[in-house]
Each structure stands twice: as structure tokens, then as C-alpha cells.
Amino acid sequence: MSGRSYPPRGQRWVPAATVSPVTTIEVRTGARQELLDVTDAVAAAVRELGVDDGAVLAFVPHTTAAVTVNEGYDPDVAADVGRWLADRIPRDEGYAHAEGNSDSHIKAILVGSSELLPVAGGRLVLGRWQRVFFCEFDGPRTRELRVSAV
Amino acid sequence: MSGRSYPPRGQRWVPAATVSPVTTIEVRTGARQELLDVTDAVAAAVRELGVDDGAVLAFVPHTTAAVTVNEGYDPDVAADVGRWLADRIPRDEGYAHAEGNSDSHIKAILVGSSELLPVAGGRLVLGRWQRVFFCEFDGPRTRELRVSAV
Amino acid sequence: MSGRSYPPRGQRWVPAATVSPVTTIEVRTGARQELLDVTDAVAAAVRELGVDDGAVLAFVPHTTAAVTVNEGYDPDVAADVGRWLADRIPRDEGYAHAEGNSDSHIKAILVGSSELLPVAGGRLVLGRWQRVFFCEFDGPRTRELRVSAV
């Protein structure tokens, strides 16, 4: 299988390393904390995996990033979510971990590193306002989101 | 497949729209924030789907509601959980989102919009004190909880 | 199937009660709140279940414990996560639930009682720094982590 790159540059997707039956979406984030709508890339991965009915697992193989499902219509929602997280889980709070990103780990645990997404008729079946967000909590970095059949 | 309505009115369940192989549970909530025990409806959906061993996905297709598994024996637990959420994620905090329900979106993300529930011998297999809760964070509304085989 | 005990005492694992196709890992915790790296036990369960490709469900059948995936290399990360949880979700806050462990229930809901973990080629496939943690929030106790094919 081939991979997917997000966000698009020039052409919409670029290949990334994958192993069957997993499709790896490459996600390039642009800030320390950022919620990126990756729904189109996940939907493409579902088609590529050939999953017809059931579910796909969207898995973040990092410890300072996460994935979630929420509203994508009004970008203010993601902004408000990000602001609450940044305010309640401050970057500097006398943490022990020397890398200075304990807040990123805490955010990743609370939001969660995977989502199981329903598929029917070969398509991702989300609610009307739902979108899939890759959540960067220690960027900017080049990240992976792995989508696989279960 | 047919659907399920919760909570019961008159007869225990009423039909709701579904598509195979998904059973849609209709959930009518009665307050802005409410944790409703929907275990019996999910167990009925497992039987209806005919899942024998493995797991079912309980998926909330909304962006201001969630699903979780926790204690259902003492209703004070759900009340305490609700109070903590309402206190730590206040309704009014100068959010950008104009609809005035950013707190609902934040709660939904932290609690999570799906649960994968183990099934064995055709039955939902939870721990002794565990129950499945539909979590309303922007009600009262008529909601859906979609249960599907994976 | 046989079970697994964690942490090791004398020999690495001891049998625990299980039913096919579930492998039950017995987890003995040593404090009220503790994040225990159970990755090796989960990896052994994957081999025992004979799952080749797809995913396994790691499910906590308790209401005051959880499971998560995060960094295991530096133990300070788990310590910082634990400290944030203990600080933001205090043990005593005038909760209604008479058992005095409402904080444990809240933590369990936010962290989550299950993880779906990707498997490929018969092995658990996590990111480079990812480990699976059993999260005790009302210990010390003897707990279960149930691993099953989905």
C-alpha cells in the first residue's frame, strides 16, 4: 500500500512508508500545538485498505500527539479546545521530565492516541458534523497517523 | 435491523432508523448535561447484531456528547463526575465559538466519542460494577448511539 | 488459555483465570495511584491469543483503573502525568459518593478503560517510545487487564 501526506503540498498527497495492511498518513504540523483536520486522508486510507464494513483503527505512534473526532465546520471549536488544554495543562509547572514536554504527554493521554472509526459500504461513516483531527502537542514535527483494518 | 430507544416510554424500546450491520439506539436526554446508563440497550444491540465473540463499537455520531464505561451502582458517582466536568470545563470562559457550547465539545473530546466493548458467548462482558453511559453535554436533545460489529 | 501476572514474582508470570479467547493479565498494584508498564505482558498475550494481523483490545474491567499508551523510557513522564492527575482531580472535594473514591472514577473516565492496540505479523506494533500502562487510581489492589482478539 502507499501512504498519504498531510497537509497537501503541490499535489494533494505524497507517498510515505507503509506496510500492509496499514496505510500510514504523513502529517506535517506547523506549531507546538495544533489540531489538524485529517478526515480526507483517513477516508482515502479506508478506500485504499479496501475495508468494506466494520471499522478502521486510526493510531498515533507518538507519545506527544493524539487523534480525536469532533466538529470541523467552525474552526473556532478546535481553537477553543486548544486554548482550554493549553490553559489547564500548562507547559511549565515544575515537571520532573527533563525534556520539558510533560504537558504534551498529559494532553496526549487525555485526548487519546487512537480512534476506532466505523466504516460501512466502503466509506467512513461519521456524524454530520464530525471530522477526524490529528492533535499535535509538541510540534512542529513530521508525524505519522497509521490507519489499519481490525 | 431495528433500533432501540432509550429511556423506555410505555414499552421498553421503540424502533429507530438503522442500517445493517449497525443498530442505532435512540437516546432522549433531559438536561444540558446528563450521564445516562444505556447498558441494557447496548446489550440488546449486541444480541440483535448477532455478534458471538470479539467486540462491538459503541459510537456517538455527535460532537457534544460522548460514551464511557464506569460505575452504575451508586448514582452519586455519575453525579460527582458530572460536577467535576462542569466545574473544570466552565460553560462561559470567553470562548471564540459563537454557539456557546465550546465546553460541550471539550468534554466530548476528553471523555471520548466511542467505546469498544468486549463480547463473549454472544453477551457483552463488562466488569462487575461497569455500566455503559451515554454522556450528554449539550442537551436536552434526541441523540443516537450506534452499535456495530467490527 | 492461561493468564499472566504482573509484576513478576520469582518466575515472570503466574497463571490467572481466563476464558477463551481472552487472556487475563493479573496486575498487582502497590499504591493508591500508580502507572505500571505492562507492555511485556500484553505482548505475551498477543502471542498466546495467536492474533496475526489486526488489533487486540486491552480492557480494564474496573471502574477506578484505566489503561493508556505513552512514553515508558523516562519514568519521570509517568510521574508527571500522575502528579497532574492528582492535583487537578483532588481526592477530597465534597463529593457525594460515600466510598471516598470519586476522584478515582473521574480519572478512570478521562484516561479511559480500554485501548485498541495494532498487531502486525503476530506482534504488537507500537511507536518507538510507546509503552502500555495500567493505571491504578484506587489501589493498592489486585487487578485484571483483559486482552482479546476483536
pTM of the model: 0.89
Give the residue-averaged pLDDT of C50-77.
96
Tell whether A107 is covered by a domain. Answer: yes
Q: How confident is the model at residue A21 (pLDDT cuts 50, 70, 90)?
A: confident
Q: C116 contacts in B (CB within 8 Å)?
A: 116
Chains that touch C (3 or more CB pairs under 8 A): A, B
Element housing A73 (H / E):
none
* Per-residue pLDDT at A20: 53
- Hey, are the CB atoms on C98 and B110 less than 8 Å from each other? no
Q: Using the predicted structure, report yes or no on whether residue A6 has a pLDDT greater than 90.
A: no
Contacts of A75 (CB under 8 A, 6+ apart): none
Using the Cβ of A70 and the Cβ atoms of chain B, whether some distance falls under 8 Å is answered with: yes
CATH of the domain at A130: 2.60.120.460
Q: Do A106 and C81 touch (CB under 8 A)?
A: yes
B85: nearest CA in chain C?
C106
User: How many domains are contained in chain B?
Assistant: 1
Which carries the bigger pLDDT value, residue C19 or residue C70? C70
Query: Residue C17 has what pLDDT?
Result: 41
Share of chain C above pLDDT 90, in %: 84
Q: Is B76 in Cβ contact with C95 (below 8 Å)?
A: yes
The contacts of residue B93 (CB under 8 Å, 6+ apart) are: A84, B102, B103
Domain membership flag for residue B10: no
Q: Domain limits at C80?
A: 22-149
Residue C2 — pLDDT band, cuts 50, 70, 90?
very low
Please, what is the average pLDDT of chain A? 90
Q: Is residue B135 part of a domain?
A: yes
Judged by DSSP in three states, C7 sits in: coil
Q: Is the residue at B42 inside a domain?
A: yes
**Which chain B residues touch A130 with a CB distance below 8 Å?**
61-63, 113
Q: Is residue A36 in a domain? A: yes
Tell me, yes or no, whether A14 lies in a domain: no
Any idea which of A54-68, C23-37, C90-104 has the lowest mean pLDDT? C90-104
ipTM: 0.88
Tell me whether residue C84 is in a domain: yes
d(CA C68, CA C112): 7
Question: What percentage of residues in chain C have a pLDDT greater than 70?
Answer: 87
The percentage of residues in chain A with a pLDDT greater than 70, rounded to a whole number, is 87
Q: Which residues are CB-contacts of A118 (< 8 A; sequence separation ≥ 6)?
A: A54, A55, A124, A125, A126, B22, B57, B59, B146, B148
Mean predicted confidence (pLDDT) in A114-135: 97
How much is the average pLDDT of B109-114? 98
Q: Do C76 and A93 touch (CB under 8 A)?
A: no
pLDDT for residue A33: 98
CB spacing of C120 vs A88 below 8 angstroms: no
What is the rounded CA–CA span in Å between residue C36 and residue C6? 9
Flag whether residue A61 sits within 8 Å of chain C, measured between CB atoms.
Answer: yes
Percentage of the residues of chain B whose pLDDT score is greater than 70:
87
**Inter-chain touch C98–B130, beta carbons under 8 Å:** no
Q: Is residue C123 part of a domain?
A: yes
Q: Which of C71, C70, C80, C87 is nearest to A95 (CA)?
A: C80
